[in-house]
Structure 1
């Protein structure tokens, strides 16, 4: 795949669709070009990466084993994963109450407690995002995207917490996580196993 030649705009578009996993809307000229190159699928308003596109982005983003920044990024990633678990648990609490019933958001006090815990998580991830951005400049915009999701959530639209249809807090967080996995070159299975070990160690 290394012989594929893309413009800067096409490269950015391919990275974006691979990180997002799926997008809706009218395809841009760059996305159409990627579809013609069999790197992504455009079917009506739905766009998704194809295996060749995902593999190419993996080649583009994955750090070389001897890259000077790899150790720093990996160390920070190890600090990120326990916070990632906290967000996953909080999303579950946002969607389902402790008794297993669906959270219909009628209990203002319950939602306010969840929102406060989200602030704690955001405070924890902020310095990690700063460290990632120092070594991976393309990740710098994620801080602003997370802040925007929080602002929209506080404006009263609960979808901005975890809806997969918009750039909600959880959606943007997943993009951060996916881009880190591509940069490190780690599979989802290895990522989940590492998270389990780190969380278990923090509780030990």
Structure 2
């Protein structure tokens, strides 16, 4: 697995521009441990810093590409993990993408129209289906969560975003400025792809 410094660097591949606090929220490390790791990574040319936020450099990505094969060798060799990823890509990932589209648009006279969230029954139906897909996701990704606790942290964050959406905060389904279901799902997807050495599907 990744050591703490490598995990900090890895987290910047999941969120392209992030503060130490945001990195801590994603990977569960203490912020006072993340900050010095970032400072060292900046010194080493692996990370760029601007106004308190950080971004990984090509050198940082190259470093991780060197680290991943050994760090995740056991995960990548697991047939259970491979089967879980096949199920994830062909099932729940497609379903979440479809439900995100349904959340963002409604059909008016056969034409997709931006959802103004004026129909609570429509929104409730989408949220109910999304909740069932997220519950299934925990089961599908079980072999990965057993090997890497960060996977379970992502599913917990997805549940937290859904709870806020169910409470009326509509941005928490697909908003890009908050840790919405869509935002956290994208991060989780990138993480499991890097764990398993797979490419993001077209």
TM-score, normalisation: structure 1 = 0.79
1:77 to 85, 88, 105: 85
- More displaced 10-residue stretch of structure 1: 43-52 or 70-79: 43-52
Aligned partner of residue 55 in structure 2, secondary structure: strand
Query: Which residue is equivalent to 1:172?
Result: 184
Q: After the TM superposition, list the runs of 4 or more consecutive aligned residues in structure 1 that deviate by more than 4 angstroms.
A: 24-27, 66-69
The corresponding residue for 1:110 is: 122
Q: Which residue of 2 aligns with 1:61?
A: 68
Shift of 1:10: 2.3
Indicate yes or no: 2:21 matched with 1:12: no
Contact 2:106 2:115 in 1 (8 A): yes
| Superimposed CA distance per residue, residues 100-127 of structure 1 (whole angstroms, 9 cap, x where no aligned partner) | 2111111112111111110121122110
Shift of 1:160: 1.2
Q: How far apart are 1:164 and its partner, in Å? A: 2.2
Q: Deviations over 1:45-69 (max 9, x none)?
A: 44222122123223333444x8674
- Count of matched residue positions in the alignment of Structure 1 and Structure 2: 183
> Which residues of structure 1 form unaligned runs of 5+?
1-6, 193-204
Which of 72, 82, 96 is equivalent to 2:105? 96
Look up the match of 1:201. Answer: none
Contact 1:58 1:183 in 2 (8 A): no
SS at 1:100 equivalent: strand
Q: Which consecutive residues of structure 2, in runs of 5 or more, have no partner in the other structure?
A: 22-33
Counterparts in 2 of 1:17 and 1:158: CA distance versus 1, 3 Å: same
Secondary structure of residue in 2 paired with 1:125: helix
TM-score by length of 2: 0.79
CA displacement, residues 116-152 of structure 1 (integer Å, 9 cap, x when unaligned): 1101211221102322111223323122211211222
1:35 corresponds to = 42
**Structure 1 residues 9 and 132, CA gap change in structure 2 (3 angstroms):** closer
Q: Secondary structure of 1:115's match?
A: helix
CA distance in 1 between counterparts of 2:8 and 2:76 reads 27
Cα distance in 2 between the residues matched to 1:69 and 1:105: 45
Asked whether the equivalents of residues 76 and 196 of structure 2 are also in contact (C-alpha less than 8 Å), the reply is no
